[in-house]
Structure 1
Amino acid sequence: MIDPNDFPVLEREVWLNHAAISPWPAAVIRAMRAFVDDNAAHGPMHYDRWLATERRLRERAARLLEAESADDVALVKNTSEGLSLIAAGLDWRPGDRMLFLAGEFPSNRLPWVQLLPDHVDVVEVPFASSDPEAALLDALDERTRLVAVSSVRYDSGIRLDLDRLGRACRRAGALLAVDAIQQLGALPLAVRDLPVDFVVAGSHKWLLAPEGLALFWSAPDARDRLRPVQTGWRMWPDMFDFDRDDTSIPRHARRFEPGTLNTAGIHGLDAALGLLLSTPAAERGARLLAATRRLIDGLAALPGIDVLTPGDDRRRAGIVTFRCTGRDPRRVLAALRAGSVVAAPRSGGLRLSPHWYTPTDQIDRALDVIESALR
């Protein structure tokens, strides 16, 4: 059972905005306070303990991703940085093509447009909600070097079939990079079972942690094709060997961590992953899909509502987006805010994003507010 005391926000708000920024659970608050208090009282005298927390975070991240090794996970600043490392560092060749879908969040669009060499053909493929993979599959050819997608669309909440895409990329000899910020922590994502090469996800949405940190997983073979575009003292496991003679690039994922990390964020994310992992991934996923199903069914019963998010469990995660026919969505959003329901405007409508811990009565409260606003 979910303990409401683990989520202080439940006392004040109906938080249906995890797709933007999540409020911290109690475990994260305690961890962050303890780190601040320790630093205030002792400075860096307990740095060895901080490093132990960092090591635990790496192991927990590997468990969450169901990765083969924690050595395949890097800690970077955010999703944008992780995707930019791929864009700037891949061993691009003249004549290469790179594919991404139209309508992506800027984090998964700008790196491909701004950072790739001029000799790479960057192709923005149309997005069709009826079959979101089809256009990418049609565009794949022997020149395609990389395909980049969001596993869950930030606006409509449509979830892509990564297995279908990854298998097609394998056949074409292309790499698959996944922006998983709207899936990781919401639904299971097992990298060892998926034909994917890179997965990046920031900490401040479904992972329930502070901003300023992201998990960057890379398959070893794909990682070997990335030239680090940053370098520094902390890339090696023996990082305190300041007199090292060997400056060869390490093979593990820490090659993407050039300098001092966000230690405060590490304490928060470690606590958040500990909380997430305390509930089986399948259970968390089932609870979340039940919450979004309840929202979709409740919205579909209201007049003048057009739900953009698919009803099929295989095609959605934690986002439900809808439009109001003949109604100004700002009016509905204002009503939600007045009722202490936190949502976000997206796609000309409104986006609701509960988490697995969101109580059913709060889902129903949001539906009641929307129904009243439509009268």
Structure 2
Amino acid sequence: MPNFQNEFPLDQKLCYLNHAAVAPWPSRTALAISSFAQENNSHGATNYLQWLKVETTLRQQLKTLLHAVSTDEIALQKNTSEGLSAIAYGINWKQGDSIVITDQEFPSNRIVWESLANKGVRVITATLNNNNPEASIINACDASTRLVSISSVQYGTGIRVDLKKIGTHCNQQGILFCIDAIQSLGAVPMDVQDIGCDFVVADAHKWMLGPEGIAVFYIKASALDQLSLNQFGWHMIENPGNYDTSHWDVASNAKRFECGSPNMVGIHGFSASLSLLLEVGLSNIEKMLSAKIDLLLTLLQDKPGITILSPTDPARRAGIVTFQTDKIESQALYQQLMKQNVICAYRGGGVRLSPHFYTPDEVLINAVKLIP
């Protein structure tokens, strides 16, 4: 296992607990991006063919991370919202169709589906506030359900659902299954073949430790032709480098969702970050992160007046712990902690803390000491 602590030379004054928002880059990622910028500054695109090799490597890394069948199922997008929009406006909806989401979704995984109301599509919301959230999601489905779209881990409470149970139901009923994996990919393992999902979308900049402005969009091969295209350009065709022909065909793989020039800066950074995650191993990362959450929960529960809003069962959580205290209102506590260099967020009605696998225990201890 690599000595990953050297990858995160964070300012010692900070308690950085905000990976569920924007993660710090590993040193290798900062180096990859700065080296790319320096190369561009001195040589322009002289080595463009080498840049394309990095892009090929990134697609292979994402295939490995997701356990996809092929890199043909991997597209690169700007962000999660772009991928979700490609799905929402690619499906041939019929009046009366419905989509099932949950009552804890980030706006990206709600607004895009609500925008389909003018096509006669209904959004049905399942509650996660019970002991069997998978049953709530499954029971919300009926004969009108065309798509289930849920977050693998919810951004506010951090609740984690059993994706395979939902995938099994969707496959049995002929329902498309979409996962917003931004709060889990890079924190816990994901196997799209085992889950049986059709789509996965996630930005790089949270648990995958990459830059903003680049995301992965997984489309199961059998679902590829179920989405019509709404963006067109030189890059989403077969043989995109052949500029001398007027004939063109849509790319036969997921690249059909990449209409224009690639984000080469983002590609270099994303690939560097994934190289670290894959070297450490997602199973190891999950175990180390779970130990951090165990410690954080113990520290919080030892303080009088603390209410944990997140699941404490390891099977129901990933890297998010959200809490309240009866000593100070949560918004005020968030602002107070930020002023004391505890980098966190106000989400889900409380203060959200989100360490990663590399976060030193002292950071957790010092942060909790600052809570009244």
Task: Report deviation, 1:67.
Answer: 1.1
Deviations along 1:142-196, one digit per CA (max 9) or x if unpaired, are 2211000000000000001101111111122101100000000111111121111
Q: What is the identity, as a one-letter code, of the residue corresponding to 1:303?
A: P
Aligned mates of 2:4, 2:61 — CA distance in 1:
22
Aligned mates of 1:113, 1:230 — CA distance in 2:
21
Matched residue, 2:361:
360
Matched residue, 1:20:
21
Aligned mates of 2:13, 2:238 — CA distance in 1:
44
SS in 2 for 1:250: coil
Q: What is the identity, as a one-letter code, of the residue corresponding to 2:317?
A: R
Matched residue, 2:198:
197
The answer to whether the aligner puts 1:41 opposite 2:36 as a matched pair is no
Matched residue, 1:300:
301
312-321 or 242-251, which moves further after superposition? 242-251
194-203 or 232-241, which moves further after superposition? 232-241
SS in 2 for 1:147: strand
Unaligned segments of structure 1, at least 5 residues: none
Aligned mates of 1:281, 1:170 — CA distance in 2:
26
Matched residue, 1:125:
126
194-203 or 360-369, which moves further after superposition? 360-369
Matched residue, 1:7:
8
Matched residue, 1:97:
98
Unaligned segments of structure 2, at least 5 residues: none
Q: Aligned ranges for residues 277-316 of structure 1 at < 5 Å?
A: 277-316=278-317
Task: Report deviation, 1:238.
Answer: 2.3
Q: Aligned ranges for residues 1-375 of structure 1 at < 5 Å?
A: 2-9=3-10, 11-115=12-116, 118-236=119-237, 238-244=239-245, 246-370=247-371, 374=372
Kept in 1, the 8 Å contact 2:238–2:249? The answer is: no
Aligned mates of 2:167, 2:129 — CA distance in 1:
18
Q: What is the identity, as a one-letter code, of the residue corresponding to 1:241?
A: N
Deviations along 1:78-118, one digit per CA (max 9) or x if unpaired, are 00000010000012233322111123111101110114652
Task: Report deviation, 1:49.
Answer: 1.2
Task: Report deviation, 1:248.
Answer: 2.8
Q: What is the identity, as a one-letter code, of the residue corresponding to 1:73?
A: I
Aligned mates of 1:13, 1:238 — CA distance in 2:
49
SS in 2 for 1:248: coil
Kept in 2, the 8 Å contact 1:92–1:117? The answer is: no
Aligned mates of 1:137, 1:14 — CA distance in 2:
40
Q: What is the identity, as a one-letter code, of the residue corresponding to 1:194?
A: I
Aligned mates of 1:126, 1:64 — CA distance in 2:
29
Kept in 1, the 8 Å contact 2:238–2:252? The answer is: no
238-247 or 178-187, which moves further after superposition? 238-247
Task: Report deviation, 1:129.
Answer: 4.5
Aligned mates of 2:318, 2:169 — CA distance in 1:
23
SS in 1 for 2:101: strand
Task: Report deviation, 1:245.
Answer: 5.0
Kept in 2, the 8 Å contact 1:97–1:145? The answer is: yes
Q: What is the identity, as a one-letter code, of the residue corresponding to 2:73?
A: D
- What is the percentage of aligned positions where both structures have the same residue? 42
Q: What is the identity, as a one-letter code, of the residue corresponding to 1:55?
A: T
Task: Report deviation, 1:131.
Answer: 2.4
Kept in 2, the 8 Å contact 1:142–1:173? The answer is: no
Residue correspondences, number:
371
Aligned mates of 1:38, 1:106 — CA distance in 2:
38
Aligned mates of 1:92, 1:247 — CA distance in 2:
27
Deviations along 1:30-84, one digit per CA (max 9) or x if unpaired, are 0000010001001111111111111111111111111111111100000000001
Kept in 1, the 8 Å contact 2:309–2:350? The answer is: no
Deviations along 1:239-278, one digit per CA (max 9) or x if unpaired, are 1112345433222100100001211111100100111111
TM-score (norm 1): 0.95
Q: What is the identity, as a one-letter code, of the residue corresponding to 1:250?
A: A
Task: Report deviation, 1:134.
Answer: 2.4
RMSD, matched Cα: 1.6
TM-score (norm 2): 0.95
